[in-house]
Structure 1
Amino acid sequence: MDAIERMKGMRTKASIVCIGGANVDRKARLLVPLELGTSHPVASAQTAGGVARNIAENLGRLGQNVALLSVVGDDHDGQWLIDATSPYVDTRLVTRIPEANTGAYTAVLDEHGEMVLALADMAIYDAVRSEWLKQRWRELGPISAVVLDTNFPPDVISWVIGQCRQERLPLCAVTVSVPKVKRLPADLAGVMWLVTNQAEAMALAGKRRLDDAIESLFRFGVETIVITRGAEGVVYATRKGKRGTIAAPAIKVIDATGAGDAFAAGFLYGVLNGHSVKDACRLGMSNAALTLQTAETVHPALTEQQLRAAHEQYFREGGE
């Protein structure tokens, strides 16, 4: 299917709407061990990034109908980002903001591909207000589900959660960082799935123990909590009492950037296509494993077939 045919289909089919960040990712990978106070040889690259945008591209590559609601600057980076995303995602509602810099994320990775330092220039998102989102919301077609990251200001995030609750739309909230997790409101009723990591979950709940954090998040109104823990795997819990821990597959990591977003996309692909929470987590982990083994933020050759093959390779026992 070419890009024109795909865009025509996007206008009529229900879309997964991804709301949040769309950034330019710049990565510098150290070729030698880090020593403070001196220069280092690196291998550098630029890719399209942003949590909501990354999830949207992953889902688009997995054959899902996806629209992106975000903002970029009226600059070269903004146009480049739209051009890089449009083959997989409906970008008609990405707004160009004059005299603003497109969001940029710069990561320094050690020689093993793990992040040493990340710098985020995200001032463009602070100018977004709920009125902008209300206008864009009216321009959306049918919605099958909503994905919300925490890059936008608290009033925008609260409005989306309230609107999804009112319209009974399945909503997945995906956290971005410990500081930004506090942009989520105390009332999370309407959040069907919360995808977060351990540090962010405990910061949001105000707890020091993971079990206590999970119980607090249920009291906030979340229906299903999925907590990623890097090499230690994933913990999931549902309000209906299903809980479990899944070990991460053993792989060689090339670059960790984008792995969390790949997990969220694989998880959503699973739950929106009828898989149990447990098996959806396995699909998420399979997608993350594929991304970890590439230098790109989103796996450049991702397909449904590849994801299902990875799921079979890493989790042969199947779902619940």
Structure 2
Amino acid sequence: MALTQREEEILACIEQNPMISQQELASMLGITRSGTAAHIFNLMRKGYIQGKGYIVSPAQYVAVVGGVNIDIHGMASEHVVGLSSNVGHLVTSVGGIARNVAYNLTSFGIKNYLVALYGDDANGKLFKEDARHHNIDITRSLQVHDKASQYLSVVSASGEQIVALDDMGISSGITPQFLQQRLGLFTQAAITVLDTSLSQEAIAWLCEHVHKPIYARVVSVNKAQRLVSVLDRIDTLVLAATEAQLVSGIDVRSVDDAVQCVRVLCEAGVRTVALLLNASTAVFAQEHEVWLARIPEELLGKHLSNGAPTAILSTLAWQYIEQEHTFQEIIGMAMASASLVLDSVEATCTDMTAEQVERRALSIEVQRVQ
């Protein structure tokens, strides 16, 4: 819930001195003690402070809400022939945009809570075990009597995705009512990350009730338009060129198109945009600054781009919490994370660390677009 100006003033005083008395607050702000008490009550009700002594609720965590999947990646060994069986290999792993963001943030040492639905079938149990193994906090998620989501991707021998199918009906259970039960989690989070596997109603609810930065990842062309009506509430947006037209109206086929697209999205109200043009190139914008970033050929690995946009989003969220680098440096780190994922059939890099990303970022080419 949003704070009034007076509540923001009181909260700032409490953050500086958690043991301050109501009378001291009243004297500092020139209001009555009873008025101060009412504001304190509202701050507690909204989740910004808790209990006696005005303990300020922890703000340095990320709430991640969206889809979890069992991913099946098919990698062709040679040129794919239509209407025929093709030689290749299959890799099954736990994934989903929201799960992968939570995984990446945990790898970076950032506290986060994953809010998702998962089934009670064998795949649901696999997800639960994976979360335990990787220290992903799913205490705000819910296991339901349903089958787990699945995602099937077929990739050419050169690393380009040929087709993908998702079976994510379970995500429709993330309703405004489901989210309302976790309102305090979103209220107290430093940022909330969502993906467009959520319904338009769920996205609208989050945009109405979350008054801290919202980061969003466009998942597919079929779900991209769910963000169009709330772009002015999205702080940071990450998308691929294939999804750009549905969100911005710009058909992105070149760097110039990408630059125009990110500028249109910033004009629509998005503060930060990252648009992955292809496996090696991305355009970033923050307010009125536009940057072009490229991954050198020697860092591209197998060119598997499936998890690159999610790696970029995760890095932007990580750096929002850390607040230690310039935007140009953050771009380099985001592309460094993407390059690590590009070498993996899975949509995450199993050994990615903050230190590894920071070192690799020194090799990323980042330049300002005039």
Q: TM-score, normalised by structure 2?
A: 0.75
Question: Which residue matches 1:90?
Answer: 137
- Quote how far apart the aligned CAs of 1:185 are: 4.4
Match of 2:148 among 102, 114, 125: 102
Query: What is the CA-CA distance between 1:155 and the residue it aligns to?
Result: 0.7
- The counterpart of 1:154, out of the listed 192, 197, 200, is 200
Q: 2:277 aligns with which of 214, 219, 229?
A: 229
Instruction: Tell me the alpha carbon deviations over residues 261-315 of structure 1, each in whole angstroms, 9 at most, x when there is no partner.
Output: 1121123223332223332221111011111112332111111121112113435
Change (3 A) 1:316 1:117: closer
In structure 2, distance between residues paired with 1:210 and 1:27: 28
- How far residue 25 of structure 1 moved from its aligned partner, in angstroms, is 0.4
C-alpha change, 1:164 and 1:142, in structure 2 (3 Å) is closer
Task: Kindly indicate whether the alpha-carbon contact (under 8 Å) linking 1:270 and 1:279 is maintained by their aligned counterparts in 2.
Answer: no
Residue 112 (structure 1) shift = 2.5
Displacement of 1:201 = 2.6
Partner of 1:121: 167
AA matched with 1:48 = V
Structure 1 residue 126 displacement after superposition: 2.3
Write the deviation string for residues 202-252 of structure 1: whole angstroms up to 9, x where unpaired: 21122345455334423432112221112351112222x211211232123
Determine the C-alpha separation between the residues in 1 that align with 2:61 and 2:228. Answer: 25
Give runs of aligned pairs for residues 44-193 of structure 1, distance below 5 A: 44-86=90-132, 87-98=134-145, 100-138=146-184, 142-165=188-211, 169-193=212-236
Change in 2 beyond 3 A, CA 1:89/1:116: same
Q: What code does the residue aligned with 1:184 have?
A: L
Structure 1: gaps (5+ residues): 1-10
Which of 237, 241, 247 is equivalent to 1:198? Answer: 241
Partners of 2:112 and 2:293 lie apart in 1 by 28
* TM-score, normalising length: structure 1: 0.87
Partner residue in 2 for 1:268: 317
Query: 1:245 is matched with which residue?
Result: 292
SS at match of 2:349: coil
Q: How many residues of Structure 1 are paired with residues of Structure 2 in the alignment?
A: 302
Q: Is residue 257 from structure 1 mapped to residue 306 from structure 2 by the alignment? A: yes
Structure 1: which 4+ aligned runs deviate by more than 3 Å?
Answer: 11-14, 138-142, 207-216, 313-317
Match of 2:364 among 307, 314, 317: 314
Whichever residue aligns with residue 293 of structure 1, its letter is: D
Match of 2:72 in 1: 26
Larger radius of gyration: 2
Corresponding residue number in structure 2 for 1:279: 329
Is the 2:195–2:216 contact (alpha carbons within 8 Å) kept by the matching residues of 1? yes
CA contact (8 A) 1:270 1:283 kept: no
